[in-house]
Amino acid sequence: MKIIDLRSDTVTLPSPAMRQAMTEADLGDDVYGEDPTVNQLEALAAEDLGTEAAMFVSSGTQSNLLAIITHCQRGDEYIVGQHAHTYRYEAGGAAVLGSIQPQPLDFEPDGTLDLAKVEDAIKPDDVHFAKTRLLCLENTQGGKVLPLAYLKEAGGFAQKHNLLLHLDGARVFNAAVKQNVDVKEIAAPFDSVSVCLSKGLAAPVGSVLCGSTEFIQEARRWRKMVGGGMRQAGILGAAGIIALTEMVERLEEDHANAQRLAEGLGGIPGFDVDMDLVQTNMVFVTPKDGLAGKFTPFMAKKGITISDMPAPIRLVTHYGIEATDIEAVIQAAKECSATFNLN
Ligand SMILES: *Cc1c(COP(=O)(O)O)cnc(C)c1O
């Protein structure tokens, strides 16, 4: 039986083309800058994102950490979403390893940070305060796509307030595909952008950090310091190249599957689905009435893996999940609803 795993797009397995490319990759020592495959990936990422340079790193967490500690000095501060990955889900790395203080603010319902609230949070130049140095945004944020006009406004805002601007673009290609724009447009206002290759783009490992030549040069030193200098990393980089060249367009399938899943679940008694949140590859469902606590274990028996988290439960579509799988999930959810007498 095929297991349908909807917990995250991090569970994606490399495509056959990736495995082939990994086998055949030209390799060298990347710490010496001599791995041709990594160099090719970095050039490609920089070109795609419209930045001068890019660097291949082991994970999105490392990428965001390197961005923050490159942009900020010890005693500086970054403003970030309360539920941002860069603040909440990275073990406090910027504070622990960089001595950089976070200033978290609540995200707005659309995934943006209200710039008026950001302005209020900027500390005056006074010995009592940390120096506010950096603003971090996230796109997509919980599957939501930040409006292009907002990104532009944030760029102007950062300049006006002498802040640097970083984008945690773990799923920025989902945003670009959804908005049908070149990802360069999304990246343009930012001083740095981090992109995960190992989520919906299906590479087994890795992220790319993109920015100016000077920024990337400095970030390379920090990468070495945190143990992220990898040697024949082209084995992984080869899959990253396929991620950028062959796996972007197909994100549209994930978005269509998420839409279908949301509509299907929303039509079943006992499930609440917030359709406003279904913008890319994520669906948030709240099992209610008699279904609370029963949904995840019931689905597990049907070979469908769903996070065991407090509602709303996040379901994520990705490479390896087909339209027929979505129908199977909807069917199983109907059975779940009927089993607990909700029909
Ligand atoms: C997954 C994710 C990251 C970090 O990626 P890892 O490779 O898991 O460390 C960063 N930001 C966001 C928004 C993510 O979803």
Ligand 1: which atom is nearest the Cα of residue 206?
7
CA of 170 to the centre of ligand 1 (A): 6
Give the global pTM. Answer: 0.97
Q: Which pLDDT tens digit goes with each residue over 150-165?
A: 999 999 999 999 999 9
Q: Which pLDDT tens digit goes with each residue over 40-80?
A: 999 999 999 999 999 999 999 999 999 999 999 999 999 99
Ligand 1 pocket residues where CB is under 6 Å: 59-61, 64, 85, 138, 168, 170, 196, 198, 207
Ligand 1 atom 15: residue of nearest CA: 170
Q: 């679940």: which residue's tokens?
A: 265
pLDDT of residue 343: 57
Ligand 1: which atom is nearest the Cα of residue 140?
13
Q: Which pLDDT tens digit goes with each residue over 299-328?
A: 999 999 999 888 999 999 999 999 999 999
Q: Which pLDDT tens digit goes with each residue over 105-123?
A: 999 999 999 999 999 999 9
CA of 139 to the centre of ligand 1 (A): 11
What integer is the mean pLDDT of 326-331? 98
> How confident is the prediction for the chain on average, in pLDDT?
97
- Of 2, 16, 28, the C-alpha closest to 242 is 16
pLDDT band for position 1 (cuts 50, 70, 90):
confident
Does 187 have pLDDT greater than 70? yes
Ligand 1 atom 6: residue of nearest CA: 60
CA of 181 to the centre of ligand 1 (A): 22
CB 37 within 8 A of CB 199: no
Percent above pLDDT 90 for the chain: 96
CA of 197 to the centre of ligand 1 (A): 10
Alpha-carbon distances, residue 64 vs 69, 189, 192, 322 (angstroms): 9, 17, 9, 31
Q: Which of 11, 59, 61, 87 to mutate to test the pocket of ligand 1 (most atoms within 8 A of CB)?
A: 61
